[in-house]
Amino acid sequence: MKAQIHPKWYPEAKVVCACGNTFTTGASVPEIHVEVCYSCHPFYTGQMKFVDTAGRVDAFKAKQAAANKKLVSKTEKRRLKKQKKLQEEASRPETLEQLRKSAA
């Protein structure tokens, strides 16, 4: 094994929750800040509590709405591609003379 490739291990790393609870565990960083822990999580406390930090649910819903607006059907994509191809063909010179004039 290679030497000096593993991070330093802190057997007494301090975990601090947003609710004020603190406890120790082993980690590769000396201090960890978390938003939800076992003393305030609804699953462990049995209390119905809405856990939404910084509007994550609203941001997700807005992202989904924006994605649905830009949705283009497969047939529409094909139609646009065909139309673009026809425009490119129409803009090409038809004769060698026209090609020489456009190059000069």
- Residue 68, classed as helix, strand or coil, is helix
Predicted local confidence at residue 44, as pLDDT: 75
All residues at 6 or more sequence positions from 43 whose CB lies less than 8 Å from its CB, including other chains: none
Query: How confident is the prediction along the chain (104 residues), in pLDDT tens digits per residue?
Result: 688 888 999 999 999 998 899 999 999 999 999 988 888 887 777 777 666 666 777 888 888 888 777 777 889 889 999 999 999 998 888 888 888 887 77
Helices (H), 48-94: 56-69, 74-91
CB 92 within 8 A of CB 85: no
- The pTM of this model reads 0.43
Predicted local confidence at residue 78, as pLDDT: 93
Predicted local confidence at residue 17, as pLDDT: 92
CB 40 within 8 A of CB 19: yes
Q: Which amino acid is at 18?
A: A
Predicted local confidence at residue 57, as pLDDT: 79
